[in-house]
Amino acid sequence: MATYHRWPTDFFPIIDGTVRAAEAVGAKLIVLGNLYGYGKNGDNPLRSDMPLDPNSKKGTARTIMWKRAFRASVPALEIRSSDYLGHGAISYFSLIALPSIIEDKPVAFIGDLDATHAWSFTKDVAKTLVAASRYTGEWGRAFHVPSQYASPNELIRKTAAMLGRDIAETHSYSIPEMDALGMHELIEMRYLFETPLLVDSSDAETLLSVKASSLEEMIADTLQDHL
Protein backbone atom coordinates (compact mmCIF):
# COMPACT_ATOMS: atom_id res chain seq x y z
CA MET A 1 0.00 0.00 0.00
CA ALA A 2 1.46 3.34 -1.03
CA THR A 3 1.93 5.99 1.64
CA TYR A 4 1.50 9.33 -0.11
CA HIS A 5 3.28 12.40 1.14
CA ARG A 6 1.36 15.62 1.51
CA TRP A 7 1.41 17.88 -1.54
CA PRO A 8 0.21 21.46 -2.04
CA THR A 9 -3.50 21.46 -2.84
CA ASP A 10 -3.04 23.82 -5.79
CA PHE A 11 -1.22 20.99 -7.58
CA PHE A 12 -4.38 18.95 -8.08
CA PRO A 13 -6.43 21.45 -10.16
CA ILE A 14 -3.57 21.68 -12.68
CA ILE A 15 -3.58 17.93 -13.26
CA ASP A 16 -7.35 17.70 -13.26
CA GLY A 17 -7.69 20.63 -15.66
CA THR A 18 -5.35 19.03 -18.17
CA VAL A 19 -7.27 15.78 -18.09
CA ARG A 20 -10.62 17.53 -18.39
CA ALA A 21 -9.41 19.52 -21.39
CA ALA A 22 -8.35 16.31 -23.14
CA GLU A 23 -11.70 14.71 -22.31
CA ALA A 24 -13.59 17.72 -23.65
CA VAL A 25 -12.03 17.39 -27.11
CA GLY A 26 -11.59 13.62 -27.13
CA ALA A 27 -7.79 13.79 -27.23
CA LYS A 28 -5.57 10.97 -26.06
CA LEU A 29 -3.27 11.64 -23.10
CA ILE A 30 0.45 10.93 -23.10
CA VAL A 31 2.12 11.70 -19.79
CA LEU A 32 5.88 12.19 -19.61
CA GLY A 33 6.87 10.70 -16.27
CA ASN A 34 9.86 9.19 -14.53
CA LEU A 35 10.78 6.37 -12.15
CA TYR A 36 10.07 8.15 -8.87
CA GLY A 37 6.64 6.60 -8.45
CA TYR A 38 8.06 3.11 -7.92
CA GLY A 39 9.70 4.20 -4.70
CA LYS A 40 12.75 2.63 -3.12
CA ASN A 41 11.22 -0.82 -2.68
CA GLY A 42 10.66 -1.59 -6.36
CA ASP A 43 12.13 -4.67 -8.00
CA ASN A 44 15.31 -4.41 -10.04
CA PRO A 45 15.03 -4.11 -12.96
CA LEU A 46 11.96 -1.91 -12.78
CA ARG A 47 9.11 -3.08 -15.01
CA SER A 48 6.45 -0.80 -16.44
CA ASP A 49 3.65 -3.01 -15.07
CA MET A 50 4.87 -2.80 -11.47
CA PRO A 51 2.60 -1.08 -8.91
CA LEU A 52 3.53 2.46 -7.92
CA ASP A 53 4.60 2.81 -4.29
CA PRO A 54 6.20 6.24 -3.81
CA ASN A 55 8.22 7.19 -0.76
CA SER A 56 8.95 10.80 -1.74
CA LYS A 57 7.10 14.02 -2.52
CA LYS A 58 8.29 13.89 -6.13
CA GLY A 59 7.19 10.27 -6.45
CA THR A 60 3.81 11.08 -4.94
CA ALA A 61 3.30 13.91 -7.41
CA ARG A 62 4.12 11.67 -10.36
CA THR A 63 1.83 8.95 -9.06
CA ILE A 64 -1.05 11.40 -8.69
CA MET A 65 -0.50 12.63 -12.25
CA TRP A 66 -0.60 9.14 -13.71
CA LYS A 67 -3.52 7.88 -11.65
CA ARG A 68 -5.62 10.90 -12.69
CA ALA A 69 -4.74 10.35 -16.35
CA PHE A 70 -5.44 6.64 -16.03
CA ARG A 71 -8.95 7.38 -14.71
CA ALA A 72 -9.74 9.67 -17.66
CA SER A 73 -12.49 8.82 -20.10
CA VAL A 74 -9.93 9.07 -22.94
CA PRO A 75 -7.01 6.67 -23.54
CA ALA A 76 -3.79 7.44 -21.66
CA LEU A 77 -0.18 6.30 -21.74
CA GLU A 78 2.76 7.25 -19.54
CA ILE A 79 6.34 7.35 -20.82
CA ARG A 80 8.75 6.93 -17.91
CA SER A 81 12.38 7.96 -18.21
CA SER A 82 15.36 7.71 -15.93
CA ASP A 83 17.79 10.58 -15.25
CA TYR A 84 18.39 12.73 -18.32
CA LEU A 85 21.47 13.18 -20.45
CA GLY A 86 21.50 15.45 -23.50
CA HIS A 87 21.97 19.06 -24.52
CA GLY A 88 20.14 21.36 -22.12
CA ALA A 89 19.02 18.51 -19.85
CA ILE A 90 18.42 19.51 -16.23
CA SER A 91 19.27 16.52 -14.08
CA TYR A 92 21.13 15.66 -10.89
CA PHE A 93 24.21 14.89 -13.00
CA SER A 94 24.11 18.19 -14.89
CA LEU A 95 23.47 20.22 -11.75
CA ILE A 96 25.91 18.54 -9.36
CA ALA A 97 28.72 16.82 -11.27
CA LEU A 98 28.94 18.42 -14.70
CA PRO A 99 30.00 21.94 -13.65
CA SER A 100 33.02 20.56 -11.76
CA ILE A 101 33.97 18.33 -14.70
CA ILE A 102 33.86 21.30 -17.07
CA GLU A 103 35.90 23.45 -14.66
CA ASP A 104 38.42 20.61 -14.14
CA LYS A 105 37.80 20.48 -10.40
CA PRO A 106 37.35 17.51 -8.02
CA VAL A 107 33.91 16.07 -8.68
CA ALA A 108 31.28 15.27 -6.07
CA PHE A 109 28.01 13.44 -6.59
CA ILE A 110 25.49 11.50 -4.49
CA GLY A 111 24.98 7.89 -3.49
CA ASP A 112 27.20 4.93 -4.36
CA LEU A 113 29.38 6.20 -7.18
CA ASP A 114 30.05 2.65 -8.38
CA ALA A 115 26.39 1.57 -8.55
CA THR A 116 25.13 0.96 -12.10
CA HIS A 117 22.50 3.52 -13.08
CA ALA A 118 20.13 3.97 -16.03
CA TRP A 119 20.49 7.20 -18.05
CA SER A 120 17.91 8.38 -20.58
CA PHE A 121 18.82 10.51 -23.59
CA THR A 122 16.51 13.47 -24.20
CA LYS A 123 16.34 12.65 -27.91
CA ASP A 124 15.39 9.04 -27.13
CA VAL A 125 12.69 10.34 -24.80
CA ALA A 126 11.30 12.43 -27.66
CA LYS A 127 11.42 9.44 -30.01
CA THR A 128 9.58 7.31 -27.48
CA LEU A 129 6.86 9.95 -27.05
CA VAL A 130 6.34 10.20 -30.81
CA ALA A 131 6.25 6.42 -31.20
CA ALA A 132 3.80 6.13 -28.30
CA SER A 133 1.42 8.58 -29.97
CA ARG A 134 1.12 6.07 -32.84
CA TYR A 135 0.73 3.02 -30.62
CA THR A 136 -2.22 0.90 -31.78
CA GLY A 137 -2.24 -1.55 -28.89
CA GLU A 138 -4.13 -1.27 -25.63
CA TRP A 139 -3.61 2.03 -23.81
CA GLY A 140 -3.92 2.58 -20.05
CA ARG A 141 -0.34 1.46 -19.49
CA ALA A 142 3.24 2.76 -19.21
CA PHE A 143 6.43 2.35 -21.25
CA HIS A 144 10.03 2.85 -20.13
CA VAL A 145 12.36 4.88 -22.31
CA PRO A 146 15.19 2.62 -23.57
CA SER A 147 18.28 3.77 -21.66
CA GLN A 148 21.99 3.13 -21.25
CA TYR A 149 23.86 2.11 -18.11
CA ALA A 150 26.88 3.50 -16.32
CA SER A 151 27.83 4.11 -12.73
CA PRO A 152 28.26 7.77 -11.75
CA ASN A 153 32.02 7.21 -11.65
CA GLU A 154 31.97 5.77 -15.19
CA LEU A 155 29.84 8.63 -16.47
CA ILE A 156 32.02 11.23 -14.78
CA ARG A 157 35.22 9.78 -16.22
CA LYS A 158 33.82 9.26 -19.73
CA THR A 159 32.52 12.82 -19.72
CA ALA A 160 35.88 14.16 -18.56
CA ALA A 161 37.69 12.13 -21.21
CA MET A 162 35.58 13.73 -23.95
CA LEU A 163 36.77 17.08 -22.63
CA GLY A 164 40.37 15.89 -22.60
CA ARG A 165 40.55 15.87 -18.83
CA ASP A 166 41.53 13.31 -16.23
CA ILE A 167 39.45 13.26 -13.06
CA ALA A 168 41.77 12.43 -10.20
CA GLU A 169 39.21 12.53 -7.41
CA THR A 170 35.51 11.86 -6.96
CA HIS A 171 33.54 12.17 -3.77
CA SER A 172 30.06 11.15 -2.62
CA TYR A 173 28.27 13.75 -0.56
CA SER A 174 27.20 12.53 2.86
CA ILE A 175 23.75 13.43 4.12
CA PRO A 176 25.18 15.98 6.61
CA GLU A 177 27.12 17.60 3.75
CA MET A 178 24.01 17.70 1.59
CA ASP A 179 22.05 19.22 4.44
CA ALA A 180 24.72 21.88 5.01
CA LEU A 181 24.72 22.73 1.29
CA GLY A 182 20.95 23.15 1.23
CA MET A 183 20.30 20.00 -0.80
CA HIS A 184 17.27 19.19 1.35
CA GLU A 185 15.04 18.07 -1.51
CA LEU A 186 17.80 15.86 -2.89
CA ILE A 187 18.29 14.01 0.39
CA GLU A 188 14.88 12.40 -0.10
CA MET A 189 15.81 11.29 -3.62
CA ARG A 190 19.28 10.02 -2.77
CA TYR A 191 17.97 6.44 -2.68
CA LEU A 192 17.93 6.42 -6.50
CA PHE A 193 21.73 6.34 -6.49
CA GLU A 194 22.42 4.23 -3.43
CA THR A 195 21.90 0.90 -5.23
CA PRO A 196 21.92 -0.17 -8.90
CA LEU A 197 18.99 1.26 -10.86
CA LEU A 198 18.04 -0.97 -13.79
CA VAL A 199 15.08 -0.50 -16.12
CA ASP A 200 13.29 -3.07 -18.27
CA SER A 201 12.42 -1.27 -21.51
CA SER A 202 11.84 -4.37 -23.61
CA ASP A 203 8.18 -3.46 -24.23
CA ALA A 204 9.14 -0.09 -25.69
CA GLU A 205 11.83 -1.66 -27.82
CA THR A 206 9.46 -4.35 -29.15
CA LEU A 207 6.13 -2.52 -29.39
CA LEU A 208 7.34 1.01 -30.14
CA SER A 209 10.51 0.10 -32.07
CA VAL A 210 12.65 2.52 -30.07
CA LYS A 211 16.27 1.74 -29.21
CA ALA A 212 18.64 3.53 -26.86
CA SER A 213 21.37 5.66 -28.38
CA SER A 214 24.93 4.92 -27.33
CA LEU A 215 26.23 6.35 -24.08
CA GLU A 216 28.94 8.13 -26.05
CA GLU A 217 26.33 9.90 -28.18
CA MET A 218 24.43 10.92 -25.05
CA ILE A 219 27.55 12.38 -23.44
CA ALA A 220 28.64 14.17 -26.62
CA ASP A 221 25.23 15.79 -26.94
CA THR A 222 25.33 16.82 -23.29
CA LEU A 223 28.69 18.50 -23.93
CA GLN A 224 28.02 19.99 -27.35
CA ASP A 225 28.59 23.54 -26.09
CA HIS A 226 31.84 22.54 -24.38
CA LEU A 227 33.66 20.36 -26.94
Q: What is the pLDDT of residue 8?
A: 47
Confidence of residue 227 (pLDDT cuts 50, 70, 90): confident
Neighbour-count burial for 80-112, b at 16+ CB within 10 Å, e otherwise: bbbbbbbeebebbbbebbbebbeeeeebbbbbb
Per-residue model confidence as pLDDT tens digits over 170-198: 999 999 999 999 999 899 999 999 999 99
Domains in the chain: ranges and CATH: 11-222 (3.40.50.720)
Q: Please give the order of strands across the beta sheet that includes 117-121.
A: 83-85, 117-121, 148-150
Q: What is the pLDDT of residue 6?
A: 46
Q: Which amino acid is at 114?
A: D
Decide if 72 contacts 29 (C-beta within 8 A): yes
Is the pLDDT at 2 greater than 90? The verdict is: no
Residue 7 near residue 61 (C-beta atoms within 8 A): yes
Task: Give the pTM.
Answer: 0.92
Cα 54 to Cα 140: distance, rounded to the nearest angstrom: 19
Q: Answer whether 109's CB lies under 8 Å from 97's CB.
A: yes
pLDDT at residue 7, as a whole number: 46
> What is the rounded average pLDDT of the residues 115-121?
98
